[in-house]
A and B are shown apart, each in its own frame.
Chain A
Amino acid sequence: MPVTDTMSANERETSESELSLRLERTWRQPGGIWGWFSDTDHKAIGIRFIVTAFIFFLLGGVLAAIMRLQLSRPESSLVGPDLYNQLFTMHGSTMIFLFAVPMMFQGFGVYVVPMMCGARNIAFPRLNAFSYYIYLGGALLLWGGLLTNTGPDAGWFAYVPLSGPAYTPGHRTDIWAQMITYTEVSALGVAICIATTILRHRAPGMTLNRMPILLWEKLVISIAVIFAMPAVMVASSLLLLDRLVGTHFFNPAEGGDVLLYQHLFWFFGHPEVYIAILPAMGITSHLLSIFSRKPVFGYNAMVGATVAIGALGFMVWGHHMFVSGMNPYEGFAFSSLTTAIAVPSAVKVFNWLGTMYGGKMRLSTPMLFSIGFVSLFITGGLTGPLLAQPALDAYLHDTYFVVAHFHLIMAMAGLFAVFAATYFWFPKMFGRMMNERLGALHFWITLAGAYAIFVPMHLLGLAGSPRRYSELTGVQYLTTTAPLQRFITVAAIVTVGGQLVFLLNLFWSLFRGHKAARNPWECSTLEWTLSSPPPQVGFGDQNPVIAHGPYEYSVPGAEKDFVHQNASGNRGT
């Protein structure tokens, strides 16, 4: 029976425990194989996203290692051109479609957002579960393709006419295009769930101003996903129609247009990279505040910058097409907007600096990785305004300079945020702490490795080394870059080896890590009010009411040096 005001204390207690029992029975995962498959608990789905995305990250890394070995010696013939084309296409597609968005946005988003809002479960739990399975389906389709010689080989962007029916026969590109549809439907599903949870399922008292900044980032990204993903689904669907049905969308001979594909694709492609990096920035802002024991500096400016990046991200896609012969005024428009997007990014970096400045830093592993994120973001980001100038992009487009730029700012920085989030929420997810010493070792190896691999790569681009060359034998002027290629390969192998430290830490901590307290990082947000790991029903019959901001740290007079968001009001500020 529901708890009412007129009940006596005893009655209330009995009612509450009845309520708990009923909740638990309702939300309990049914047993058996079918029960495991039909689980709609956001925590389980979130962990599935994270684990699956991580496995595909490792697979994508293996592909990268093979490519680097091929390029490490000019006379290498480890793989032929056909397999090499498949390798870099699969590497790009795996990392972008199967790792970047599923890990950061879908995985951690689905796990953390409902708890941070104080909701019991994510909105539309079945849509959420469906999103996971269709993502898994798309991923298995793509990798099943690679294993049966049907892996796509036209580049992760699959420009027509090369990916069209005349120049890529068979079903390789068809598999790629179908994978796009599945994974982007998955992203759309999760975006709808997360946006609804944030907008409608926040605990009472959590006004938008009291949301942890991570939730702002997720909200903006959800909206960006809803606008961006359909563009690539349209592009890949038109490509499928051209290939399988015989339409002429991209056939110039019959009135089609090859640039149409590029516009459609990059209208998705550029917001996609922001979709990949904004969750990372949100996690970084969040963690920098927690581990400096200071509120986020310039919360409103951060929110404004996030919205600005999300909006401007849709207006700059043409900078991927500067060399296609576009009208110079068009180039100028895209160039200005791209350069303008550096401003909100700079605002964020300055605010991170402001957050850390004067704080009482705890250099735990998540904090190390967050600082590493900032470092990589700056280094990678500074080459952005450089590439945004059409005159310079005319030289640097499609060279290793661009590869270095986006790997630093999107791949490495994003990866650091992933690691930070993993070390941070691992205690919550599994109830155990990860080893700090191994974590610090992992951090230093990966940071040094990221710089060692990608900063010299800029030089390759400046030297004129184009992308997607399966071997370097035919180009005399590139044989002088061989020592640099070798250095990068060695650095890559060492860095990949360093990830074994992480895997060791992960598996060891899963079974033998220190048991985690409810709130080991002394964090004020709502998910840390639950046990580690949280009960199946999450908040269950608790109804947290929010009376405090998200980052009340270093509060004088507080029992510890922070105040939970749902602590009763009138304590501290």
Chain B
Amino acid sequence: MLRKIKFVLLAATLIFLVSCKREDRILRQPPPSDETFNTVQISGLNPGANPIPTPPPSNMYEESAYAVSEGQKLYEQYNCVGCHAHGGGGIGPPLMDNNWIYGSEPGNVFATILQGRPNGMPSFRNRIPEYQAWELAAYVRSMSGLLPKGVSPSRSDEMNVKPSEFQTPKQPPTGITGQPEQPK
């Protein structure tokens, strides 16, 4: 009887320690980092024999469903839909396909948002806080199914013109070198 109780208590404690990151509500943001996105490789062209820079940092917000959902809301609020629609593109290129002009890594998308890109992508540096750019990057990646289904938003309360990110089939991105990347 006592052994049963001890076992139950141990199991409960263990469960308690395995707290689920997916459900974290990240309300206090880490302070902005120094500019890491200058080390992001955005093209397959490499001048000379320079080594390929170190891989860009991962996005901690990709583990939190709340953060990706915030990214979804920000995508509407900051009018990304104005050029990219709900991922299908229009004035801007589609974001839910596997064609990534400037790279699909989290750091690449983050850099795209903050730096701007030729042919119309504005720079949002100082307009969008860095953590929100990371949240948007996470959401944009979810649009092509690059995030696990658990964290991807399933449906917004707006009119839907595309299947939800939850249902988007995983599209192995072609990346910046034109070769299929390893699926995550």
Contacts and interface: CB of A to CB of B under 8 A. Distances in A.
Interface string B9-49: 00010011011101111010000000000000000000000
Contact of A166 (B15, B27, B156): B156
B65 A169 contact: yes
B108 interface: no
Given A148-B18, A150-B23, A246-B167, A170 B66 contact: yes
Which of B20, B153, B164 has most chain A Cβ within 10 Å?
B20
Contact of A254 (B25, B66, B159): B159
B75 interface: no
Interface string B147-158: 000110111111
Interface string A227-257: 0000000000000001111101001111000
B155 A253 contact: no
B169 interface: no
B166 interface: yes
A169 B66 contact: yes
Chain A facing B: main interface SS: loop
Interface residues of B, number: 31
Contacts of B68: 169
Contact of A171 (B12, B23, B24, B27): B23
B12 A147 contact: yes
A149 B20 contact: yes
Given A82-B25, A166-B69, A169-B69, A149 B19 contact: yes
Contacts of B154: 165, 243-246
B15 A165 contact: no
In this complex, which of B154, B157, B166, B167 has the most chain A Cβ atoms within 10 angstroms of its Cβ? B157
A166 B155 contact: yes
Given A144-B15, A150-B23, A165 B156 contact: yes
| Contact-size category for A | 20 to 34
Contacts of B65: 169-171
Contacts of B155: 164-166, 242-243, 246, 248, 251
Contacts of A170: 22-23, 65-66, 150-151
Instruction: Determine which residue in A169, A170, A172, A242 has the highest number of CB atoms from chain B within 10 A of its CB, and name it.
Output: A169
Given A148-B20, A253-B159, A246 B166 contact: yes
Given A147-B16, A169-B68, A170-B66, A82 B157 contact: no
Contact of A252 (B20, B66, B157): B157
A251 B164 CA distance: 14
A246 B160 CA distance: 9
A150 B157 contact: no
17 contacts: A147-B12, A147-B16, A148-B23, A149-B20, A150-B20, A164-B157, A166-B69, A166-B72, A166-B73, A166-B153, A166-B157, A166-B158, A169-B66, A169-B68, A170-B150, A251-B155, A253-B159
Interface of B: 12, 15-16, 18-20, 22-25, 27, 65-66, 68-69, 72-73, 150-151, 153-160, 163-164, 166-167
Interface of A: 80, 82, 144, 147-150, 161, 164-167, 169-172, 242-246, 248, 251-254
Given A166-B73, A170-B23, A243-B155, 17 more contacts: A148-B19, A149-B19, A149-B23, A149-B24, A150-B23, A161-B157, A164-B157, A165-B157, A165-B164, A166-B153, A166-B157, A171-B23, A171-B65, A243-B154, A244-B166, A246-B166, A252-B157
